[in-house]
């Protein structure tokens, strides 16, 4: 919804005038922190306003709203005036941009063919690796399969037809580097176990008691003495076992952004996805959902009707009705599942598709809650896009680690012989199972003997049921309280 709309009943989304949003500071830690910074800058001999402006734009840079080159360009003159040099790391991006501008404008044909940026150079640089992307292989396989009369596979390919269910036929997923793949970078060092992300997810999705799609484990590990956290959303694996085993194609990967969704209209509740997933992110709707269907925003839309509509009309309908339960295909796949059906973290497709307003696109409820809480541990976005928030964050943290490492003092330059990534403790969960998860963690990896313990904030304290079995036991016939 638009920022001027006062009718939103969500407390902290930032819309309208009648919420108690956090103070209007650009800094995630709030206006108080901002004034503190301002005071510190005042104490120096340099321009405070320049510093504050650059900080604000630096935030935008991290969030992917402006590019490195733009950031560099905007402040280049002012920085040179103030400091006589501009050695910011963004200079590289800036120079590249300048160079390509010059080339394009002035090169003659000969230069274009044989110069540095010329065709010949480009051809030389083409990757000699002839292995085609998996997506291409699958398309070819589709043709081959069709030839074998196995028409099902071929027809299940995304055909570009807007009415196509866009499931894609590859349960293995597309491992090519091109195409959007939504994922996360989660900085476990910034997480403090506040569980705001858990609450945010529950509120967003109206999940039933104990179905904690977003989950945070505080754990102890013989390897380290410190308090450890593990934030566990669905990993939205590229090679998702849950998708492979689904007998009805309810569990599928959405082609356009690589998120793994459950089609609530088709799922038969066999729970095989839950059994195949090594991470334990699936939560079945064992009984009647806590929140009635009619209370869900968008439930007035009929999914059969939605599918019949042309794309633009459907999109308009979904945006107008602030529909949280259907994605842009008109498929019911968001928010809590109905009885007898499987649910899990969805990466909020109704947000990605713009149904909750443009400003929510590219965000997820858990990240929003984490940002609002001041931690910004969760960074969600297109992990194939170097400009995206998670990628930028990863780069920024890598650079920080590199800087921090004083032992490496033998003249090595950034990017030359030492990759900054080596300094960063980044891992993926259960990577050797081959699921290709799309969540990259920064921080300590849990060892084999890691065990969950109560955190600084317990689930009980925030009123969330942790042991769902305890809750479900009351419904057991003949042994419960019925």
Partner 1 sequence: MSSRTPNTDDIVRPMQSTAKWYYVVFGAASILALVWFGLWSIQLSRGLAVTNLADWGSAGGVTWGLYIGAFIWWVGIAHGGIILSAAVRLFGMKRYLPVARLAELLTIGALSMAGFYIVIHVGRPDRIVTSVVQAYPVTVHQSPLVWDVTVITMYMVMTLTYLGLTIRYDLARLRDDLPNILEPVYKVATIGYSEAEDEVIERIVWWLALGVIVMAPLLLHGGVIPWLFALLPSMPGWQGAIQGPQFLTIALTSAIAGVIILALALRRAYDWHHILTDDVIRGLTLWLGLFSLLFLWLQLQQVITGVYAAPLDQRSFAAAKVTNPYYQFAIGVVLLSLAYIFAQAVKAHLFSPMRSLAASLLVLAGTLTEKILFVFEGLEYPTFDMYYNTPGHYFPSPIEIGSLVGTIALCTLFFLVIVKVVPVIELHAIEELRGEGHSHVEGDD
Partner 2 sequence: MVEFQAWNFMYPGTWVIFIIIGVPVYTAILGWFLGKPRDMEKALMALTYLIGFIVSMWVGLYFLTVAIGIVFPPAM
Binding residues among 409-438 for partner 1 as defined by CB under 8 A: 429-430, 433-435
Residue 378 touches which member of partner 2, partner 1, none, C-beta under 5-8 Å by kind: none
Instruction: Tell me which residues in 153-182 interact with partner 1 (CB under 8 A).
Output: 153, 155-156, 169, 171
Q: Long-range contacts of range 327-332, CB-CB < 8 Å, 24 or more positions apart?
A: 327/254, 327/261, 327/352, 327/353, 328/353, 328/354, 328/355, 329/165, 329/166, 330/301, 330/303, 330/306, 331/165, 331/261, 331/263, 331/265, 331/303, 331/307, 332/263, 332/264, 332/265, 332/303
Q: Which residue blocks in 261-310 are alpha helix, DSSP H?
A: 272-276, 303-308
| Complete DSSP assignment for 318-382 | HHHTT-SSB-TTS-B-SSS--TT-EE-----HHHHTTTT-GGGTT--HHHHHHHHTT---EEEEE
| Complete DSSP assignment for 408-470 | --SS--BTTTB-GGGGS-EE-TTGGG----SEEEESPPP-TT-EEE--SS-TTTTT--S-HHH
Q: Which of 343, 365, 350, 366 is nearest to 231 (CA)?
A: 366
Does residue number 134 form part of the binding site for partner 2 (CB under 8 A)?
Answer: yes
Residue that has been written with the tokens 């194609």 in this structure: 249
Does residue number 275 form part of the binding site for partner 1 (CB under 8 A)?
Answer: yes
Exactly one of 8, 246, 335, 439 binds partner 1 (CB under 8 A); that residue is: 246
Does residue number 141 form part of the binding site for partner 2 (CB under 8 A)?
Answer: yes
Instruction: Tell me which residues in 420-449 interact with partner 2 (CB under 8 A).
Output: none
Does residue number 278 form part of the binding site for partner 1 (CB under 8 A)?
Answer: yes
How far is the C-alpha of 197 from the C-alpha of 214, rounded, in Å? 7
Return the range that interacts with partner 2 (CB under 8 A); candidates 6-14, 201-209, 337-345, 395-403: 337-345
Instruction: Tell me which residues in 318-377 interact with partner 1 (CB under 8 A).
Output: 339-342
Q: Shortest Cβ distance from residue 155 to partner 1 (Å)?
A: 8
How far is the C-alpha of 2 from the C-alpha of 16, rounded, in Å? 8
Q: Shortest Cβ distance from residue 294 to partner 2 (Å)?
A: 9
Residue 134 touches which member of partner 2, partner 1, none, C-beta under 5-8 Å by kind: partner 2
Task: Copy the structure tokens of residue 278.
Answer: 């090594």
Residue 384 exposure: Cα atoms within 13 Å on the Cβ side: 13
Residue 293 touches which member of partner 2, partner 1, none, C-beta under 5-8 Å by kind: partner 2
Does residue number 330 form part of the binding site for partner 2 (CB under 8 A)?
Answer: no
How far is the C-alpha of 168 from the C-alpha of 159, rounded, in Å? 9
Does residue number 150 form part of the binding site for partner 2 (CB under 8 A)?
Answer: yes
Q: Shortest Cβ distance from residue 429 to partner 2 (Å)?
A: 22
Does residue number 470 form part of the binding site for partner 1 (CB under 8 A)?
Answer: yes
Exactly one of 91, 97, 172, 217 binds partner 2 (CB under 8 A); that residue is: 172
Task: For partner 1, give the closer residue by CB, 122 or 155.
Answer: 155
**239 contacts 435 by C-beta, under 8 angstroms:** yes
Three-class secondary structure of residue 155 per DSSP: helix
Does residue number 142 form part of the binding site for partner 2 (CB under 8 A)?
Answer: no
Task: For partner 1, give the closer residue by CB, 101 or 288.
Answer: 288
Exactly one of 2, 100, 308, 339 binds partner 2 (CB under 8 A); that residue is: 339
Instruction: Tell me which residues in 254-293 interact with partner 2 (CB under 8 A).
Output: 288-289, 293
Does residue number 367 form part of the binding site for partner 2 (CB under 8 A)?
Answer: no
Three-class secondary structure of residue 295 per DSSP: helix
Exactly one of 284, 332, 347, 380 binds partner 1 (CB under 8 A); that residue is: 284
Does residue number 374 form part of the binding site for partner 2 (CB under 8 A)?
Answer: no
The count of chain residues that interact with partner 1, using the rule CB under 8 A, is 73
Exactly one of 71, 75, 219, 380 binds partner 1 (CB under 8 A); that residue is: 219
The count of chain residues that interact with partner 2, using the rule CB under 8 A, is 14
Which residues contact partner 2 (rule: CB under 8 A)? 134, 137, 141, 145, 150, 153, 171-172, 288-289, 293, 338-340
């Amino acid at each position: 919804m638009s920022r001027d709309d006062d009718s939103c009943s969500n407390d902290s989304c930032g819309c309208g005038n009648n919420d108690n949003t956090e103070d209007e500071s650009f800094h995630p830690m709030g206006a108080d922190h901002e004034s503190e910074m301002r005071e510190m800058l005042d104490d120096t001999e340099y321009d405070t306003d320049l510093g504050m402006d650059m900080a604000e734009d630096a935030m935008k840079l991290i969030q992917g709203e402006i590019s490195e080159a733009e950031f560099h360009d905007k402040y280049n003159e002012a920085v040179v005036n103030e400091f006589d040099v501009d050695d910011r790391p963004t200079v590289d991006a800036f120079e590249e941009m300048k160079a390509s501008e010059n080339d394009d404008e002035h090169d003659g044909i000969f230069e274009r063919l044989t110069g540095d940026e010329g065709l010949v150079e480009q051809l030389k640089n083409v990757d000699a690796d002839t292995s085609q992307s998996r997506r291409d292989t699958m398309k070819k396989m589709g043709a081959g399969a069709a030839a074998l009369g196995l028409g099902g596979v071929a027809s299940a390919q995304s055909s570009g037809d807007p009415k196509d269910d866009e499931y894609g036929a590859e349960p293995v997923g597309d491992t090519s580097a091109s195409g959007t793949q939504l994922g996360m970078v989660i900085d476990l060092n910034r997480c403090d176990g506040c569980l705001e992300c858990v609450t945010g997810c529950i509120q967003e999705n109206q999940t039933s008691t104990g179905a904690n799609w977003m989950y945070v484990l505080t754990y102890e590990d013989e390897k380290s003495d410190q308090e450890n956290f593990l934030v566990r959303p669905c990993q939205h694996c590229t090679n998702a076992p849950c998708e492979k085993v689904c007998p009805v194609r309810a569990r599928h990967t959405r082609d356009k952004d690589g998120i793994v969704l459950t089609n609530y209209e088709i799922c038969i509740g066999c729970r095989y996805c839950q059994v195949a997933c090594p991470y334990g992110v699936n939560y079945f709707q064992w009984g009647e959902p806590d929140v009635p269907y009619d209370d869900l925003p968008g439930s007035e839309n009929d999914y059969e009707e939605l599918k019949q509509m042309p794309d633009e009309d459907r999109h308009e309908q979904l945006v107008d009705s602030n529909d949280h339960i259907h994605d842009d295909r008109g498929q019911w796949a968001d928010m809590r599942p109905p009885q007898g059906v499987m649910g899990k973290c969805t990466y909020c497709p109704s947000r990605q598709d713009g149904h909750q307003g443009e400003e929510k696109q590219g965000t997820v409820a858990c990240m929003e809650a984490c940002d609002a809480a001041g931690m910004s541990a969760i960074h969600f976005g297109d992990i194939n896009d170097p400009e995206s928030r998670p990628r930028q964050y990863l780069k920024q943290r890598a650079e920080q680690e590199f800087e921090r490492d004083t032992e490496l003092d033998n003249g090595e330059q950034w990017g030359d012989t030492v990759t900054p990534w080596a300094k960063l403790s980044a891992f993926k969960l259960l990577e050797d199972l081959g699921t290709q998860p799309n969540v990259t963690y920064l921080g300590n990896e849990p060892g084999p003997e890691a065990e969950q313990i109560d955190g600084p904030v317990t689930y009980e304290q925030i009123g969330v049921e942790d042991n769902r079995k305890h809750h479900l036991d009351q419904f057991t016939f003949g042994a419960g309280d019925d």
